[in-house]
Amino acid sequence: MADNKLLANAIRMLAAEGVEKAKSGHPGAPMGMAELGVALWREEMRHNPINPTWFNRDRFVLSNGHASMFQYALLHLTGYNLSIEELKNFRQLHAKTPGHPEYGYAPGIETTTGPLGQGIANAVGMALAEKLLAEEFNRDGYDIVDHHTYAIVGDGCLMEGISHEVCSLAGTLGLGKLIVFYDDNNISIDGEVHDWYSENVAKRFDAYNWHVVEAIDGHDVDAIRNAIHQAKSIHNRPSLIICKTTIGKGSPNKAGKEESHGAPLGASEIELVKKELGWTYASFEIPPEVYAGFDCKSKGMNAENSWNQLFTEYQSRHPQLAAEFVRRMEHKLPDDWSSIVKVAVKAANDKQETIASRKASQNAIEFYAEHLPEFFGGSADLTGSNLTRWSKATTLTEANRYSGNYISYGVREFGMAAIMNGIFLHGGYRVFGGTFLMFSEYARNALRMASLMKIAPIFVFTHDSIGLGEDGPTHQPVEQIATLRMIPNMIVWRPCDTVETMVAWADAIGRNKSPSSLIFSRQNLKFIERSQAQIDNIARGGYILVDGGKNPDYAIIATGSEVELALNVATKLTSDGLKVRVISMPSTSVFDLQDESYRDEVLGGAKKMIAIEAGVSDSWYKYVGKDGVIIGIDTFGESAPAAKLFDHFGFSVDKIIARLK
């Protein structure tokens, strides 16, 4: 059996040689964290390389994702289906080993990391999901949900503001099964960090209500193992284990220096590393005793088989709970979901309510929550404004930490969005959370990561335009809708009334591989009467509200609060003897996915195209063409009552008619 030194050196050499072959990457952190990999992946972490998605596995998140060769090396060495050829293809096109770990590429990658700080935020979400599911499904003697979440962070993760947001919340929530390792090597790309990062991390996390294991030798496997055992014994607080390490350990000339952080060591230095470590093997050669020492397949299968036996007994004693658990972990909707949606949409249409779409959104949540016990909602301190809470929701409180389905995230928009990603990745919940549309700016990178990972949290954004009024331009979103639509794979809805809102929510709930941004108004929006065919076409993202006949003089496209305005403009133009088509397009994202014939049917044939939306105008040219007219806002807003603002910025029937003439 190989000793720990040889096992750690195998990680170092795979990292150094993988980066060298790619001529790109970060060898230093993997070389410095090698002993941590041995202690955690080989000994303490419960995982099954043969079945990487086994539910009750421990989750591992490499928040400092630039150190990706650390994770790839461990996946390969412990027995996952990640060949040595994939490690040789590090950072190459279509390899399973991209520059930063990406969810859905290599087996065993729980989340995409790279933007520093988001990995630890995802880990907080995973740990919260574990606690919530355990409270909901575990029964005496049958702890079917019982696993830890491990994460590694570096200085960069802790400098990013999101780490403050999520670690503060994790301490408040007392997430005892969250164990984080701080790779404390004092080096970033610019050099030794003490000139710009001198805070006492231990005291910071102690203030967050974390259990802190202060500076241990990060190159001592026994010390790391003991620290993990200590952390596991603390059940009411998350743990931070501070590991003092040397970046690039094993490199005679670059260890402890920024030169080893973000660039290959160089061929000559690689040879010196081999001599320093006593590594006598060829490039990418791993001796059999190392594979034998790292092999976790038998241990992993035994752990999974034990859990399977426990779950079989659980199914026998609690069949309904077991069936519900399986359904939710497989991200399956109830069998009668399509019927549920039809009833919901019909009810909204029958009520004919003129209300704010944020209130229509709350009505949708209220209805669908009755049929979706996996709903988990929240808001970044704006519950009363976002209207994301429903009547039967149970909010997590200090006295009721885990038996609930709604959370107040506090003023933490970025942290909320990244935690939501982690909850979805863990499984068991359809998660949504709200804030003002303006503050999507704070959450932007987490929204992008959800889209990139092809996961489906639901982001609720209210107060969608200058219609919020007196709060002024700091709170009036003019560019946010357009920029959300620009994110690949992000589904954006801006419904115009209660019926479109109900359809938008159903669409978002029904997705598993695309996140959704649902955008709602503060002000009341008039109910619009439709035929059944028009109602059915809402789900296609865009549809004709007023036909206008063949080859109309004008075709007007509008979204959200501007649909009523478009209808009023059409009425005026029609009274002047013109033919006008009105198109409601609540989701350009979904409309663009429709077949060409349908899109042509909706958009084609008009002599002049017009788009009306209270936001920046550029994105509408793809629909109206260079000769079209766009009624938009290409400046920031003003502070005034909403009605005066709409008139001031040209959103009135008379001003639009004058513009057309």
Q: List pLDDT tens digits, range 206-217.
A: 999 999 999 999
pLDDT score of 2: 81
DSSP 386-438: HT---TT--B-BTTBSSS-SEEE--S-HHHHHHHHHHHHHH-S-EEEEEEEGG
CATH topology of domain 540-660: Rossmann fold (3.40.50)
What's the angle, vertex CA 603, arms to CA 598 and CA 609, rounded to 5?
175
CATH class for domain 336-525?
Answer: alpha beta
pLDDT in tens, 450-491: 999 999 999 999 999 999 999 999 999 999 999 999 999 999
Query: What's the whole-number mean pLDDT along residues 188-204?
Result: 96
Output the CATH code of domain 4-301: 3.40.50.970
Q: Is 14 annotated as a binding residue?
A: no
pLDDT score of 661: 84
Q: Is 155 annotated as a binding residue?
A: yes
Query: What does the alpha-carbon distance between residue 364 and residue 358 come to, in Å, rounded to a whole number?
Result: 10
In whole numbers, what is the pLDDT of the chain averaged over residues? 97
DSSP 134-203: HHHH-BTTB--S---EEEEE-HHHHHSHHHHHHHHHHHHHT-TTEEEEEEE--EETTEEGGGT----HHH
pLDDT in tens, 18-39: 999 999 999 999 999 999 999 9
Q: Which two tokens stand for residue 514?
A: 């695309």
Q: Is 26 annotated as a binding residue?
A: yes
Helix and strand numbers, DSSP H then E, in the chain: 28, 20
What's the angle, vertex CA 178, arms to CA 249 and CA 150, rounded to 5?
35
Q: Is 185 annotated as a binding residue?
A: yes
Q: Is 163 annotated as a binding residue?
A: no
Q: Which two tokens stand for residue 145?
A: 């949900």
From residue 238, give the alpha-carbon distance in Å to each of 84, 123, 222, 241, 403: 35, 11, 21, 10, 19
pLDDT in tens, 523-567: 999 999 999 999 999 999 999 999 999 999 999 999 999 999 999
Q: Is 522 annotated as a binding residue?
A: yes
Residue 306 in 3-state DSSP?
helix
Query: What does the alpha-carbon distance between residue 216 and residue 81 come to, in Å, rounded to a whole number?
Result: 33
Q: Is 164 annotated as a binding residue?
A: no
pLDDT over 80 at 1, yes or no: no
Phi, psi angle pair for 498, to nearest 5°: -65, -35
Q: Is 463 annotated as a binding residue?
A: yes
Torsional sign, CA 203, 205, 210, 215: negative
Nearest residue to 606 (alpha-carbon basis) of 559, 541, 546, 550: 550
Give the residue numbers annotated as catalytic, written as ranges.
413
Q: Is 471 annotated as a binding residue?
A: yes
DSSP 76-98: HHHT-S--HHHHHTTT-TT-SS-
* β-bridge mates for residue 379, sequence order: 408, 434
Q: Tell me, yes or no, if the pTM score tops 0.95.
A: yes
Nearest residue to 58 (alpha-carbon basis) of 73, 74, 40, 34: 40
Question: Could you count the other beta carbons within 10 Å of the beta carbon of residue 189?
Answer: 11
Helix (H), strand (E) at residue 595:
none
CA dihedral of residues 526, 528, 529, 530 (deg, nearest 10): -170
Q: Is 116 annotated as a binding residue?
A: yes
**Where are the domains positioned within the chain?**
4-301, 336-525, 540-660
Q: Which two tokens stand for residue 172?
A: 């408040």
pLDDT over 90 at 352, yes or no: yes
Query: What does the alpha-carbon distance between residue 74 and residue 43 come to, in Å, rounded to a whole number?
Result: 12
Q: Is 457 annotated as a binding residue?
A: no
Q: Is 414 annotated as a binding residue?
A: no
Q: Is 190 annotated as a binding residue?
A: no
Q: Is 293 annotated as a binding residue?
A: no
Grade residue 12 by pLDDT with cuts at 50, 70 and 90: very high
What's the angle, vertex CA 120, arms to CA 4 and CA 397, rounded to 5?
125
Query: What's the whole-number mean pLDDT along residues 265-272?
Result: 98
